[in-house]
Amino acid sequence: MTPVTQESHGLPGTGLRATSDEAPVTAKALAGGHSAHALHAPAAGETASRINDYRELFKFRVTTMVVITAWAGFYLGSMMSGISSVQRGLLDTLIGIALVSAGSGALNEAVERKTDARMLRTAQRPLAAGRMSLSHGILLGIGCIAAGAAWLTFYTNPITGTLTLITAFTYVAVYTPLKRYTTLATFIGAFPGAMPPLLGWTAARGSIEWPAVALFSILFVWQFPHFMAISWMYRDDYARAGIRMLPVVHPDGRSTVLEALVYAVLMIPVSLTPVYLHMTGITYGVVAAFLGLIYLGYTIRFAKITSARSMIESRMYARDLLKVSVIYLPLLLTAMMLNAAGKR
């Protein structure tokens, strides 16, 4: 909101003199809002509610994770180039990627507003609940994506700006609507989900290289046990909304467990590729193997959902895997960054 100045209301102390023809501005007129310039103060809690709505619209927590993983890619790319990552380029990269991620989240909620309204965990999102207009959400989403892609193109390089636009398009226009038709949407959605560290790398290096592909692969594989846990926990919600997640189509849980296990096993060799590519030292390899075994262990434990005695127990196994997955990834990236190899 633009600030209300004294001059705009002709109040005393402005240096403006009222003529004898002008009616005085009374306190009653100001309080009653009859003046065209009446002040409007937000109701109690309105500002906090609006801020929370924008946090939801822009998927603040998801965008934060995107920024963190993009930072890891930029850091590793800078190390490979033999330059410090503490530079203006890092800020430009994170600003651009954050804008595109936030805009993609807004458009995702615009497309899914009707299905969100049917699910308990998303029914209170601003577009689903009707607290924000559809046009407002779409304009904000498109504006953020356009601004972020232009920022990256101008301040980093065209390849990063172009890849970011492709990522946003795949997420919003392909993955989001596809969820209502096929379980393959999860696989397709993993591609834009794995892009942030690759984008960070290209912003630092200006090209797609094998180390960037390795970072992409790590995030790609990591997502499946993570998302299988989420989809099992909220399978009733997904079913209510008509979203064809694996636990909805195959409610016995066997396919969900199998997919999670396959990718948890793959996670161990994939997480070791930075050692093979000389991006890191052996210390990272030891840490990655240890973390991978823990991740696999909790995924094996997740398999108990098929024999759990109650819904509460099966959700507990899924929730534990979800928590481990969100701890695992930052620890893995931190170990990679701390043991990163310099310019060869």
pLDDT digits (tens, 9 = 90+) for 83-133: 888 899 999 999 999 999 999 999 999 999 999 999 999 999 999 999 999
Domain count, the chain: 2
Backbone conformation region of residue 63, classed left if phi is above 0, alpha if psi is from -120 to 50, else beta: alpha
More confident residue, 30 or 203: 203
Ranges 14-23, 71-80, 116-125: which has the least confidence:
14-23
C-beta separation of 270 from 147 below 8 A: no
> Are 62 and 82 in a shared domain?
yes
Tokens for 43, please give them.
Answer: 């109701």
CA distance 186 to 169: 16
- What is the arithmetic mean of pLDDT over 314-332? 97
DSSP state letter for 303: G
Alpha helices in 242-344 (DSSP H): 246-249, 254-271, 273-276, 282-302, 311-338
> Are 321 and 337 in a shared domain?
yes
> Are 315 and 335 in a shared domain?
yes
CA distance 45 to 298: 41
The verdict on residue 32 lying in a domain is no
Among residues 207, 227, 249, the one where a domain terminates is 207
What percent of the chain shows pLDDT beyond 90? Answer: 83
- Reduce the DSSP state of residue 242 to 3 states and report it: coil
Residue 232's domain comprises: 209-344
State the average pLDDT for the chain. Answer: 89
CA distance 300 to 82: 41
> Are 62 and 171 in a shared domain?
yes
The domain that holds 302 is classified in CATH as 1.20.120
> Are 233 and 97 in a shared domain?
no
CA distance 287 to 290: 5
The verdict on residue 4 lying in a domain is no
Among residues 188, 207, 226, the one where a domain terminates is 207
The verdict on residue 340 lying in a domain is yes
> Are 60 and 159 in a shared domain?
yes
> Are 184 and 231 in a shared domain?
no
Segment 198-218, tens digit of pLDDT: 999 999 999 999 999 999 999
> Are 196 and 241 in a shared domain?
no
The verdict on residue 176 lying in a domain is yes
User: CA Rg, the chain, in Å?
Assistant: 25
The verdict on residue 21 lying in a domain is no
pTM of the full structure: 0.86
Among residues 191, 207, 223, the one where a domain terminates is 207
> Are 147 and 234 in a shared domain?
no
The verdict on residue 184 lying in a domain is yes
- The alpha carbon torsion through 279, 285, 291, 294 (nearest 10 deg) reads 140
The verdict on residue 41 lying in a domain is no
> Please, which pLDDT band fits residue 40 given cuts at 50, 70 and 90?
low
Q: Give the burial class of 211: count Cβ atoms within 10 A of its Cβ; 0-12 exposed, 13-18 middle, 19 or more buried.
A: buried
The domain that holds 185 is classified in CATH as 1.10.357.140
